[in-house]
Structure 1
Amino acid sequence: MNMLKKIAKGGMIGLGAYLGYAFFTSNILLHYKKPKSREELEEKGLPDYYGDDENDGPDKAAFFDTQDILLTLHLNLIDSAEKTIKFANFSIEDGAASDLFYGKLLEAADRGVEVYILFDGKGHNLFGISNGKYWALMGHPNINLAFYEEFDWLRPWTWQNRMHDKYMLIDETYILTGGVNLEDAFFVKDNEEAVYDRDVVIINKEPERYDESVVKQYAEYFEAMWFHPYTNVRPNHVMKRYENLARETYEELVSTVKEAEEKNLYGASRTIDWDEHLYPTRKVSLVTNAIQRWKKDPHILATLGRLFDEAENSVIFQSPYVVPSLEMREYISLEHTTAKIFFITNSMAVSTNFPAIAGQRKYLNELSSDTTQFYHFQGKGYIHAKAYMFDRRLSLVGSFNFDPRSSFLSQENLVVIDSPELSAALEESLKDIARNSVPYNENAEHLVENTAENVPTPWYKKILLGLAYVLLHPLEDLL
């Protein structure tokens, strides 16, 4: 009995020591790791992202922001692939959307397309030694699977290094990028659980000008991530005891696609006419964070900081939450621009991300004084889209949230589009969301006239947000 007590006591001491070690190295040390300053980064400004006013660039661009088409985008692009598919995504969950997606990738691989799948090492649905989807993918000679920064018990400082990107590259001709995760809530739920997001599709219409195309920049970024030491590329191999499981799961996924197309479920049999949606562009560029552990050099935040400073007329931006921490404000200033600033975010009533919205709550008064007007979304569901628009000409869309985690801890990307035509359409999309929102300051200038009624925050959510505010206040860097 005494021996058991000693073992139990030793185990508790060991567990406590490990938890302390993990907390210290994965959280506390972050406060002492400083990235390069804004001056050291020397990011480009507005004129650098503008193209020739007289001539279009090689890329055309379109954006899509309704649930009924976002999954169709992915499926149509996979169908169009002839040579390669390169896909990177932060999160994929079990459900109809992921089954259709995997099934489509397997069909593409069957017709000879080389498929590369890169997941964040902690955000996918392929965990477990007996996971049939994992073995179905690994068993196909034309599918290559890799994971960025997988969970490492011995190195907790790697836990915060996440790949938050969500993009797909087809034949080095098409790019799909935005904020969409492969989860049913983004595609097939039209209720309080729905998540509303936005994807951009870029098409290189002039292959002879490939070097000028943003498609080349995305291809180089994907290669840098795929071959990086933080990425684990799995060998194509199926353990003998899982060969039947791999084959059965393959058949199930492919049959799921056929059934969805026959019954036109989730828009699976719909074909998008790209020309109906495309806008001309003068120039399209890519901005990403540095591929680093600890705190990354915040290239995206510093770029936004310079664009905010140089905007002359207006800035309109949308983020699921807005948490302008003290460290972020070393790179970006909302109060020093001469432009009018409008932004749209979730209200406490609809948000499901308690830590982030609690962090936003801390800055409400400052945000009110530093901006022209901001809106709290009050509609059904939850907005997850991220967009930034400057002087009704330059539009930035991608995975970057306006918070410390996206700024310093995660791999992120924003596509920068110089197109007054696309900006005009994007502004209308943002105004539609503002109309389903409540202005924070009724007496300030408005982006739209008619807005929603205020929805009270449920009492239980107020309690949870209050707790999150108190408990997470010292951990703002992680929000």
Structure 2
Amino acid sequence: MEARFVSHVAWRRPAGRALVATVAMLGAACASLPPHPAEPPTVARQGTADTVIGRTLAPRLAQHPGQSVFYPLTAGADAFAMRLALAHTAQRSLDVQYYIFDADNTGLTLLAAILDAADRGVRVRLLLDDLHMAGQDKALAAIDAHPNIEVRLFNPFANRRVRLFEFATDFRRVDRRMHNKSMTADNQLTVVGGRNVGDEYYGARADVDFSDLDLLAAGPVVAQVSAVFDDYWNSEATWPLASLAKPLEGEEARTLQQNARQYLDDAVVRLKATPYARSVLESGVLQAIQQESLPSFWGQATVIADRAAKVQQPPEDDATHAIPKLAKVLDSAQHDLTLVSPYFVPGEAAMEWLTGLQARGVQVRILTNAFGATDVKAVHAGYAPKREALLKAGVVLYELKPSAYAELAKEKKSKGPGGSSRASLHAKTYMVDRHLLFIGSLNLDPRSARLNTEMGIVVDSAALCDMLGKSIDDALLDVAYQVVLETNPDTGREEIAWVTREDGVLRTYRSEPDMSGWNKVEQGFLRLLPVESEL
């Protein structure tokens, strides 16, 4: 982002470059954060029932006292359209919290809509994890300079130029990241789920599309989402950008702000010219709700979230953790439990829990990424050795195929991305007895449980579970491999096999799909590394 906002001055003498690089590396090794600024806490806007969003929702909410309404966003284009609509419609406030906010077509277009909201007088609080913000300080400062926008960074790196040495000198701190994802307008309407901000999350890339799920929600649950945001915004782990990067002033501020606006406007024009955007940019969330063109589901709901202070406590101290609350929900299963997690690495305790559920009569079904679909090969190395034990316990195991979209297109079961997109599972969705549903950012892996912060919503809605469950069941063998234990007719031994439906015909693979000989060597090496707690 920053490269287009500012001009870079090239060093003319190699000796000068070497000296500066050496000084920078030495400075990075001993850099420390400035004192945390003492600022009064700010909280979500109250008294927003008279906004356009509030007035639109009020009649329907009045018919369901105490309940919240949910609109599942399964398609990436719809999820992007809803975020744009929130920014376009907000009148009082926008609270935006993301782990990744890419400076690509969708990210810049959403940022342009957020800037437009600020121009209308909307208070914007933009909270970003700092891990993916390297080199973006001036670009963010141009946004932060708007009188109605404040940018804060979660668990920031002390050195704003060279980060490498901080991983070596302060790894335990910078390894703890904010993985939350939410966007709330006027404290009335919110989007929570698994999607970050970037083209691959919204079906805007031709080469890859992350299969994900968000909830658009209104009603009492919104106040819970806002309370989580306030906890992070006012946390001692969160720093105003202005305390980390020199605030822009005078002519530099005016120039960078003008460059930023032009850069964002150009991105919007580029996106509007694509086939992807023709329907997305014309979408209006309020009109869709008014016309009841979105499938809506009502129910009691609870937000489950880590406290922001989690990153400042030892990983084994679970007093601030979300996972014990989620485990209680999942452990309430009486007859079936469906777990959809892209990064699935169950530790010893989780393996005992899953096999224990099976032993007491709960059928556990798991959908995760196949080797060819995962974007983190080390995670697959941590997961794969667990398969045999899970299958022997009776767990039903599926792995999403990278060709999932192509298979759906052939079967005409989807209007989503074309067959050229590589599918990769990114949704974190857990269903209990077809009436309780968790949708959020929390993976079933050690990193989500112990290191990162996470959040999500638990909804009690049999209708919503039925709709999502049916959509999964109908296409599962087309989009995924069922991993099974069966006797190999050639060897007579019980081995893992992968069963799927291709062109309407069941096919069995006896070696792992999409895994070459070199991949097998690589996976074997990754399993030797003591990194499971980091996955």
**TM tier relative to shorter chain:** 0.7 to 0.9
Q: Kindly tell me: are residues 190 and 232 of structure 1, through their superposed partners in 2, closer, same or farther at Cα, counting changes over 3 Å? A: closer
Deviation at 1:155, TM superposition (A): 3.5
CA distance in 2, matches of 1:331, 1:181: 30
Deviation at 1:239, TM superposition (A): 3.5
Q: Kindly tell me: are residues 329 and 458 of structure 1, through their superposed partners in 2, closer, same or farther at Cα, counting changes over 3 Å? A: closer
Could you say what secondary structure the match of 1:277 adopts?
Answer: coil
Match of 1:246 among 243, 253, 257: 257
CA distance in 1, matches of 2:209, 2:275: 21
Contact 1:191 1:381 survives alignment (8 Å):
no
Contact 1:146 1:232 survives alignment (8 Å):
yes
Contact 2:77 2:204 survives alignment (8 Å):
no
Contact 1:185 1:193 survives alignment (8 Å):
yes
CA distance in 1, matches of 2:113, 2:275: 15
Deviation at 1:432, TM superposition (A): 5.0
Could you say what secondary structure the match of 1:101 adopts?
Answer: helix
Question: Which residue of structure 2 lines up, in the alignment, with residue 75 of structure 1?
Answer: 84
Contact 2:369 2:400 survives alignment (8 Å):
yes
Does the alignment pair 1:226 with 2:284? no
Q: Kindly tell me: are residues 372 and 81 of structure 1, through their superposed partners in 2, closer, same or farther at Cα, counting changes over 3 Å? A: same
Question: Which residue of structure 1 lines up, in the alignment, with residue 340 of structure 2?
Answer: 318
Worse-matched range after superposition: 398-407 or 322-331: 322-331
Q: Match of 2:143, as an amino acid?
A: L
Question: Which residue of structure 1 lines up, in the alignment, with residue 297 of structure 2?
Answer: 280
Q: Kindly tell me: are residues 439 and 100 of structure 1, through their superposed partners in 2, closer, same or farther at Cα, counting changes over 3 Å? A: same
Q: What are the residue-to-residue correspondences of 1:182-197 with 2, within 5 Å?
A: 182-189=197-204, 191-197=206-212
Contact 1:164 1:399 survives alignment (8 Å):
yes
Could you say what secondary structure the match of 2:88 adopts?
Answer: helix
Does the alignment pair 1:149 with 2:149? no
Could you say what secondary structure the match of 1:85 adopts?
Answer: strand
Q: Match of 2:453, as an amino acid?
A: Q
Q: Note the alpha carbon deviations across 1:341-382, whole angstroms, 9 max, x for none.
A: 111111112212011111101211122233431101112321
Q: Match of 1:105, as an amino acid?
A: I
Worse-matched range after superposition: 405-414 or 277-286: 277-286
Contact 2:221 2:303 survives alignment (8 Å):
yes
Could you say what secondary structure the match of 1:411 adopts?
Answer: coil
Contact 1:56 1:282 survives alignment (8 Å):
no
Contact 1:166 1:177 survives alignment (8 Å):
yes
CA distance in 2, matches of 1:422, 1:262: 35
Q: Note the alpha carbon deviations across 1:376-428, whole angstroms, 9 max, x for none.
A: 11123211111000111011000011100001111101200011111111112
Question: Which residue of structure 2 lines up, in the alignment, with residue 169 of structure 1?
Answer: 184
CA distance in 1, matches of 2:204, 2:107: 14
CA distance in 1, matches of 2:359, 2:328: 11
Q: Note the alpha carbon deviations across 1:230-258, whole angstroms, 9 max, x for none.
A: 10013494244343122121133135336
Worse-matched range after superposition: 218-227 or 278-287: 278-287
Match of 2:328 among 301, 306, 309: 306
Does the alignment pair 1:127 with 2:135? yes
Match of 1:270 among 270, 279, 283: 283
Could you say what secondary structure the match of 2:100 adopts?
Answer: coil
CA distance in 1, matches of 2:235, 2:352: 29
CA distance in 2, matches of 1:214, 1:277: 19
Q: Kindly tell me: are residues 368 and 239 of structure 1, through their superposed partners in 2, closer, same or farther at Cα, counting changes over 3 Å? A: farther
Match of 2:389 among 339, 348, 366: 366
Q: Kindly tell me: are residues 383 and 109 of structure 1, through their superposed partners in 2, closer, same or farther at Cα, counting changes over 3 Å? A: same
Deviation at 1:180, TM superposition (A): 0.6
CA distance in 2, matches of 1:388, 1:399: 11
CA distance in 1, matches of 2:475, 2:151: 37
Does the alignment pair 1:65 with 2:74? yes
Q: Match of 1:349, as an amino acid?
A: G
Match of 1:392 among 430, 434, 441: 434
Under a length normalisation based on structure 2, what TM-score does the superposition of the two structures give? 0.71
CA distance in 2, matches of 1:194, 1:63: 18
Could you say what secondary structure the match of 1:123 adopts?
Answer: coil
Could you say what secondary structure the match of 2:322 adopts?
Answer: helix
Could you say what secondary structure the match of 2:361 adopts?
Answer: coil
Contact 1:79 1:108 survives alignment (8 Å):
yes
Could you say what secondary structure the match of 2:347 adopts?
Answer: coil
Could you say what secondary structure the match of 2:463 adopts?
Answer: helix
Deviation at 1:186, TM superposition (A): 1.4
Q: Note the alpha carbon deviations across 1:71-101, whole angstroms, 9 max, x for none.
A: 1121111112111000100012221011101
Question: Which residue of structure 1 lines up, in the alignment, with residue 523 of structure 2?
Answer: 465
Identity of counterpart residues, as a percentage? 22
Deviation at 1:110, TM superposition (A): 0.6
Q: For structure 2, which runs of at least 5 residues remain unmatched after alignment?
A: 1-21, 31-62, 159-165, 405-421, 488-498
Question: Which residue of structure 2 lines up, in the alignment, with residue 136 of structure 1?
Answer: 142
Contact 1:301 1:331 survives alignment (8 Å):
no
Question: Which residue of structure 2 lines up, in the alignment, with residue 3 of structure 1?
Answer: none
Q: Match of 2:194, as an amino acid?
A: G
Q: Kindly tell me: are residues 227 and 311 of structure 1, through their superposed partners in 2, closer, same or farther at Cα, counting changes over 3 Å? A: same
CA distance in 2, matches of 1:306, 1:161: 24
Contact 1:282 1:419 survives alignment (8 Å):
yes
Q: Match of 1:198, as an amino acid?
A: L
Q: For structure 1, which runs of at least 5 residues remain unmatched after alignment?
A: 1-10, 20-53, 205-212
Contact 2:437 2:459 survives alignment (8 Å):
yes
Q: Kindly tell me: are residues 360 and 334 of structure 1, through their superposed partners in 2, closer, same or farther at Cα, counting changes over 3 Å? A: farther
Question: Which residue of structure 2 lines up, in the alignment, with residue 423 of structure 1?
Answer: 465
Q: Kindly tell me: are residues 328 and 239 of structure 1, through their superposed partners in 2, closer, same or farther at Cα, counting changes over 3 Å? A: farther
CA distance in 1, matches of 2:299, 2:443: 26
Could you say what secondary structure the match of 1:117 adopts?
Answer: strand
CA distance in 2, matches of 1:57, 1:357: 42
Q: Match of 1:269, as an amino acid?
A: E
Deviation at 1:429, TM superposition (A): 3.1
Match of 2:445 among 403, 418, 424: 403
Q: Kindly tell me: are residues 425 and 150 of structure 1, through their superposed partners in 2, closer, same or farther at Cα, counting changes over 3 Å? A: same
Paired residues, number: 414
Deviation at 1:109, TM superposition (A): 0.5
CA distance in 2, matches of 1:151, 1:142: 25
Q: Match of 2:176, as an amino acid?
A: N
Contact 1:97 1:184 survives alignment (8 Å):
yes
Cα RMSD of the aligned pairs, angstroms, is: 2.9
Q: Kindly tell me: are residues 128 and 103 of structure 1, through their superposed partners in 2, closer, same or farther at Cα, counting changes over 3 Å? A: closer
CA distance in 1, matches of 2:387, 2:501: 19
Q: Match of 2:515, as an amino acid?
A: T
Under a length normalisation based on structure 1, what TM-score does the superposition of the two structures give? 0.79
Deviation at 1:459, TM superposition (A): 3.4
Worse-matched range after superposition: 108-117 or 456-465: 456-465
Q: Kindly tell me: are residues 349 and 265 of structure 1, through their superposed partners in 2, closer, same or farther at Cα, counting changes over 3 Å? A: closer
Match of 1:437 among 475, 480, 502: 480
Contact 1:91 1:119 survives alignment (8 Å):
yes
CA distance in 2, matches of 1:184, 1:411: 23
Contact 2:204 2:276 survives alignment (8 Å):
no
